[in-house]
Structure 1
């Protein structure tokens, strides 16, 4: 029992109608409920600060309709081969000095291949881990053996977003299946790596699609430890370049619903934050977001820099979550 009433259950047996009932609540009522759940399971005022670096940019064979790194689209993204370990470690040190406690490395690959580039990434993982940062990677699809190698190198978390609902998936991506995505999450989980998986809103999907994605995430055998909620940043040259900007209320509704469905999960306010003022971001934190990416870029799109975020944290009374904080903390009462 907490000061907010009976503690919310951790459930993986949600049904679609229950999730719809939560998602469609009046938005202020939804925020209050999510804030109460957040207070029961998380240290309020504490936000995980992450930095994302593109270690291999562009030239991807996939056809993700939102992504400027797809080789088939004519965007302004310049193709860069895999960075050196020295470059990556220098970025990781800067991120740590800027207040980040998690460092994520992204490579524009369809899938991991057992070659020299993967060996180099494993060395990067080990090097960043030795700096005392939680290391996360997003490298495309991985099999069980590759996930085990990443774990052995010191990988803490692996990001592989579902992007949208299973029903809408083929409208956004045709070069892999929803099942492929889920298989990768399963392989990561089996290796004992923390799972990071969320999606993007503003792709032209319906509310039913957003609910469907949350349904899939919240009914996995174990909830992802991290769920990024991204607002599409339309990029010229991609099929979704003319999509309208997602409103803050749509972001709040997604974040709040995710918080209620997955109380222990870190819900990350991710892409699209550059277009939000501090008031809009504060609404997202109130609704249950407790993780952000900081630094000047999210792979290839703009993002608020460290100094802006430091000022926002001071204004809102937020503090960075420590690295490697145990998931099983004493209950917040």
Structure 2
């Protein structure tokens, strides 16, 4: 704050200790400053944050759980803000993840466009001739879930009948047919809203750019992980319910754990995808990465909650497995939602 000797609003004389004018309540801060002064402030703020970042570096990487303990004890100004640190590291992680997935998607698309693959496609098309009329007149096949067997069916086939599937597969690669025209050709006006939505999404996903789809999935994944952080904090709250710890303390611990994991995983992706080419090195890198993250998390549990090794191992094992299943379920939901809204 750039304090003034007089209130800029009512001209009341102000001592330097006043942050607000005692007469009118306006903040004692002069906003009319030169570009030079703004630059100096920006420079000072940057190095102030950099100083906190420097103090954060050693305990964050080499003393698992230390930052969480310091923060919960009230020692917060010396170290980087946990949420700000998480945002910076998660941006790095999801950026490299998105870049890697984009490269893999392009490589896969290029592999499908090679002359060898095209010749195989042509041979298959020449070998198998679809008779759409005969398929249309034949009864479709559906899965009888109750009997766990295949049974004959007609209108209950989901989401399409056989002749509709064959028509769809036959025309998907035809770029002269629009998504809407292909959808209209299937004649599914009498089907349910869920069926119509599913078919529209199948056509849209197949027709549109796959890199865009992968990028959107990764972006939604970052949102999903941000939502899961409070869930894992709640899980820790339940695991240590007898300690009477505040929920916010578990939340700070969770943020630090995810921040470390994202940083290590991001570095591993850079090493595996852009630096090392050997498959053996890739396997060792991923194994070491998982070992580091699991060991760091366990030691963080031990330092933060200060329980015996036996109790720490038990609670860490239970919470890890529960979170693993929650994570798998959340990823499946995220993929489904991403495909539905693409």
Q: Normalising by the residue count of structure 1, what TM-score does the alignment of the two structures yield?
A: 0.22
Q: Which has the higher strand share?
A: 1
Q: Which has the higher helix share?
A: 2
Q: Which has the higher contact order (CA 8 A, sep 6+)?
A: 1
Higher-Rg structure is 2
